[in-house]
């Protein structure tokens, strides 16, 4: 559950843990004065659930891209070593990994 920051016109700032679906407080639980919700500092919270699948798959795509970059790096190192045989082997294994990652 995220914590929201409120400001009461009498008591000042306080925090309240609320469900996302809950209505924001309109009145202070302490003095029943008027409160307003501050802009949450918990914007970065990662919500788990079906609605966030898009974020998940983007993360996975980034992981794949990172993995492929690492493999390409190995290809390049093999070229620098002028070791043709190991370059061919490395290149074939990279191709295979890319195919696996994009399937
Ligand atoms: Zn108050």
Average pLDDT, the chain: 79
Task: Retrieve residue 64's tokens.
Answer: 């794949």
User: How high is the pLDDT of residue 14?
Assistant: 93
Q: Quote the ligand 1 centre to 5 CA distance (angstroms).
A: 13
Q: Quote the ligand 1 centre to 29 CA distance (angstroms).
A: 7
* Total domains, the chain: 2
Band of residue 59 on the pLDDT scale cut at 50, 70, 90: confident
Contacts of 82 (CB under 8 A, 6+ apart): none
Domain-embedded: residue 42: no
- CA 48 – CA 68 distance, rounded (Å): 27
Q: Quote the ligand 1 centre to 23 CA distance (angstroms).
A: 18
Which position has the higher pLDDT, 100 or 80?
100
Domain-embedded: residue 43: no
Assess whether 59 and 96 both reside in one domain: yes
User: How high is the pLDDT of residue 63?
Assistant: 82
Assess whether 96 and 70 both reside in one domain: yes
User: How high is the pLDDT of residue 61?
Assistant: 76
Q: Quote the ligand 1 centre to 19 CA distance (angstroms).
A: 21
- CA 88 – CA 23 distance, rounded (Å): 62
Interval 51-70 mean pLDDT: 72
Domain of 84 in residue numbering reads as 50-102
């Amino acid at each position: 559950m995220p914590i929201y920051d409120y400001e009461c016109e009498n008591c000042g700032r306080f925090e309240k843990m609320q469900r996302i679906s809950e209505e924001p407080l309109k009145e202070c639980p302490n003095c029943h004065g008027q409160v307003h919700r501050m802009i949450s500092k918990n914007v970065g919270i990662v919500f788990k659930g079906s609605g966030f699948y898009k974020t998940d798959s983007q993360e996975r795509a980034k992981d794949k891209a990172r993995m492929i970059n690492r493999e390409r790096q190995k290809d390049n190192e093999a070229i620098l070593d002028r070791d043709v045989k190991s370059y061919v082997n490395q290149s074939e294994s990279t191709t295979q990994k890319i195919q696996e990652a994009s399937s």
